[in-house]
Amino acid sequence: MQPLLYFSTINFTRQTRTAMIRIGLTGGIGSGKSTVAKIFETLGIPVYYADDAARKLMNTNDALKQAILEHFGKDSYKDGLLDRKYIASIVFNDKEKLELLNSFIHPATIKDADEWMLEQKAPYAIKEAALLFESGASENLDYIIGVYAPQHLRVQRVMKRDKLPVEEIMKRISRQIDEEMKMKLCNFVITNNEQQLVIPQVLELDHRFRALTCAS
Ligand code: ATP
């Protein structure tokens, strides 16, 4: 992984300039996506947090609720709210069930994010998601920023934040695309390795995206 901010030359010419620029922000578990997203928010940039939105949609989107009830049974909901423990117990060690659940959640979240993007009034807007490539959401975005941190730091951070055993974190890591490969798919990479300053990297990207908006 190359250190510092990496600008890819590919895809840097948008095809359509009419709508606001839509940016994806991704990275592995504990890479610092939310931390970086919050810095963009302080600059006045709206951020869609895909995990939070998906959690909400599972309780509010009728079609999604119906699909979950149909495939995971009536015990999936208690008093109209998703029984997260019950669902987790089903998908925890069953890759196929997890993929099935994701096949309902991802399209609903992509649609919700697309609608949200259309409502934003800002130079650009960001969608923060761990599974941006895995879910297909990257296709609806103009540029993708990857947040990179080495694995040992990511594990340490998540152990501290979520009080999870290392085995559980490794299991989650193994379900995501390899980090180095993910970063190669991104147009820009912010390095959050606790050695390089993050804020200047965010400011530089903010500057680039605002300049693109002005030019359009
Ligand atoms: P997840 O995918 O698990 O939700 P994430 O990529 O959104 O994680 P964050 O929640 O932003 O990551 O960061 C993980 C933890 O590491 C948080 O507790 C955060 O405060 C901490 N952290 C992030 N970046 C740094 C940093 N540069 N220095 C110290 N701690 C950091």
- Please, what is the Cα angle at 138 between 136 and 143, to 5 degrees? 175
Q: How many residues does the chain have?
A: 216
Q: Return the amino acid letter for 121.
A: K
The pLDDT value given to residue 176 = 85
Greater model confidence, 10 or 65: 65
Per residue in 90-117, is it b (16+ CB within 10 Å) or e — as a string? bbeeeeeebebbbebbbbbbbebbeeeb
- Verify whether ligand 1 is closer than 6 Å to residue 24 (CB atom): no
Cβ neighbours for 20, distance < 8 A, ≥ 6 positions apart: 117, 120, 122, 123, 124, 125, 213
26 CA distance to ligand 1 centroid (A)?
A: 12
Q: 74 with 112, same domain?
A: yes
pLDDT tens profile 71-80:
999 999 999 9
Q: To test the ligand 1 pocket, which listed residue (25, 26, 29, 34) has its Cβ within 8 A of the most ligand atoms?
A: 34
Pair (35, 132) in one structural domain: yes
Q: Could you tell me if 141 and 208 lie in one domain?
A: yes
**Of 77 and 95, which is predicted with more confidence?**
77
Averaged pLDDT score across all residues of the chain: 90
Residue 214's pLDDT band (cuts 50, 70, 90)? confident
Are 40 and 115 within one domain? no
State the virtual CA torsion across 44, 50, 52, 57 in degrees, nearest 10.
120
Which residue has the least CA distance to atom 11 on ligand 1?
32
In this prediction, residue 216 carries a pLDDT of 67
Out of 119, 146, 170, a domain closes at 119
Backbone angles phi, psi at 6, to 5 degrees: -115, 120
Residues 56 and 152 in one domain: no
pLDDT tens per residue across span 150-187: 999 999 999 999 999 999 999 889 888 899 999 999 99
Q: Which domain holds residue 94?
A: 51-119
Instruction: Report whether residue 29 contacts ligand 1, using a CB cutoff of 6 Å.
Output: yes
Q: Indicate if ligand 1 lies below 6 Å from the C-beta of 138.
A: no
Distance 67 CA to ligand 1 centre (A): 33
Task: Indicate if 32 and 69 belong to the same structural domain.
Answer: no
CA–CA gap between residue 214 and residue 138 (Å, rounded): 24
pLDDT at 172: 87
CA dist., res. 96 & res. 65, Å (int): 19
How far does residue 145's CA lie from ligand 1's centre (Å)? 16
154 lines ligand 1 (CB under 6 A): no
pLDDT for residue 1: 34
Number of domains in the chain: 2
Q: How far is the CA of 157 from the centre of ligand 1 (A)?
A: 6
pLDDT computed for residue 73 by the predictor: 95
Give residue 130 CA to ligand 1 midpoint distance, Å.
12
Q: Indicate whether 17 pLDDT > 70.
A: no
